[in-house]
Amino acid sequence: MDVAPTIDVARAGKDAAVLTSALTMPERYVTKALGAHTLTAKSSVTISDGATQVEQLTDEVTLEVDASGAFHATENNNADYGREVIYTGGKLFLRPRYARWHGRAPEDDAELTKLKDDLGSTLAAHVELVSSAISVADRGAVEQAGRPGHRVAIDRMQAPAPAPAQTLKQRAWRTDSTVNALAGDVILDEKTGVPLHAHLEATVEFARDGHRYTMAIVVDHDVTAIGAPHPVSPPPADQVVATPERLHEVDERDTLLDGMAPPARKKAAAPAPVDPAPAPPTGTKAAP
């Protein structure tokens, strides 16, 4: 059963594990807790070799969620890549930056959930990287986005725990990473524990190909317009191109005749693992 984490907001100002649980809450739980809202997340990741900057990436996501379940999102970065997503009226519209829209029915509810969770994951992805070094301090009650909230300050603990071991090959570099600096400010919704505001800055040292680099991270996360109408409209029809859909009859035929006849469709070779660790200068995305 898909159950949202229970966040003890008062304890989050004393227990880093509780705060981390709140900051890494998937968007699907945020939507269940708040209903209609707008999420804006900005991140900047800079990779340096000593005093020389070798990679820099900024990314910005805006996600508008309506109470009806419809949503509209944009994501763009300074590498000139981006995407825009609309879901409304039971139809999903997607387009890469500068391209035309493709419209189709979603494969299932899981596709929509995964898509929104991915769009809302900026803060969580960076918090997970530095979670072993987080120290917290309670800063008391505040108001944020028109709701009662609780402020928590983030700092680097004096003796950070070792970075957790990674089971995924592409994240193996994290095991030997070191958080050298960490600071932040968080406001949790008093009622739900959802992070309504977060600002995080960190410096992480990591190894790649036997050489050590420094990663500087800045993240800003804000949830606004809670409960406000967010009507979502489909894109203009003349900007939407037909999207070919997979013939499920072929998949069903292969399943029924598995082991008795050659498959009608060749199975695609498994893609090689992709390491998202920042690599000096390759021009690829330097996200943790």
Q: Mean pLDDT, to the nearest integer, of 85-110?
A: 94
Kindly state the tokens that stand for 189: 């919704």
161 to each of 112, 144, 170, 179, how far by Cα in Å?
36, 32, 21, 10
Q: Is the pTM of this model over 0.75?
A: yes
Among 94-98, 115-119, 197-201, 239-243, which stretch is predicted with the lowest mean pLDDT?
Answer: 239-243
More confident residue, 152 or 210: 152
**For 57-74, what is each residue's pLDDT tens digit?**
999 999 999 999 999 999
- At residue 93, does pLDDT exceed 60? yes
Give the N- to C-terminal CA distance of the chain in Å, as an integer.
29
Among 5-14, 33-42, 234-243, which stretch is predicted with the lowest mean pLDDT?
Answer: 234-243
Q: What is the DSSP letter of 235?
A: P
Domain ranges in the chain? Answer: 9-256
Euclidean distance between CA atoms 275 and 127, whole angstroms:
19
3-state SS class at 180: strand
Q: What is the DSSP letter of 256?
A: H
pLDDT of 260: 59
pLDDT of 288: 46
Q: Are 255 and 14 in contact (CB under 8 A)?
A: no
